Amino acid sequence: MCSPPPTGGKGVRLAPSKEQTGRVVVGIAELKVSGVPEQLLVTYALGSCLGVCIYDPVARVGGLLHAMLPSAQMDPAKGRSNPARFVDTGVPTLFKQAYALGAVKERIIVSVAGGASMTAGDREDGFQIGKRNFLEFKKLLWRNGVVLRDQDVGGNISRTVSLDISTGEVRVKTGTQEYSLSRRYPR
């Protein structure tokens, strides 16, 4: 998770310029990284998908990934054309984009939400995409010596996740409840 950032690819792009502030929506199979304090990165409808937030409190650089599936091995061509679609290609790309804006691996705070089982009623989730997404994510962090600080995963609810670039606060909304997933970051 420390080689130079990619030069393009669908779903991989830096957040808008400093002239553009406010809410920046991260769609499904997209990631955005920002160093603009006035921006709030937000992604909606995280079911089995994972919303991965990273934040460097010194550089005040953060990013948000909305990954759909655990591994690009399912479809390597799609993994190359849109790394944000998969956990195993999206997470390294998220880190590389943050490094390009001045983030440092040792300072990055990692939070994750999603990974739910979205089957209705008593039906069993045979594919277990949510669990597999989270397992792939934990393996990636472990292999790269990165610590997961905050998480809200599993269950059977959809989540909205936001990352405030000015503070690093990660907020999660489920239905009518909204709460901070973050511990207070030192400024």
Percent of the chain with pLDDT over 90: 74
Domain boundaries in the chain?
12-180
Q: What is the pLDDT of residue 5?
A: 42
In DSSP terms, 39 is beta-bridged to: 22
Residue 60 zone, left/alpha/beta (φ > 0; ψ -120 to 50; rest):
left
Catalytic residue of the set 12, 42, 49, 146: 49
Domain 12-180 in this protein, CATH class: alpha beta
3-state DSSP helix/strand/coil % of the chain, to nearest 5: 25, 35, 45
pLDDT class for 74, splitting at 50, 70, 90?
Answer: confident
Q: What is the pLDDT of residue 183?
A: 64
The tens digit of pLDDT for each residue in 26-67 reads 999 999 999 999 999 999 999 999 999 999 999 999 999 999
Q: Please tell me the predicted confidence (pLDDT) of residue 126.
A: 66
- CA–CA distance, 97 with 176 (Å, rounded to integer): 33
Give catalytic status of residue 49 as yes or no: yes
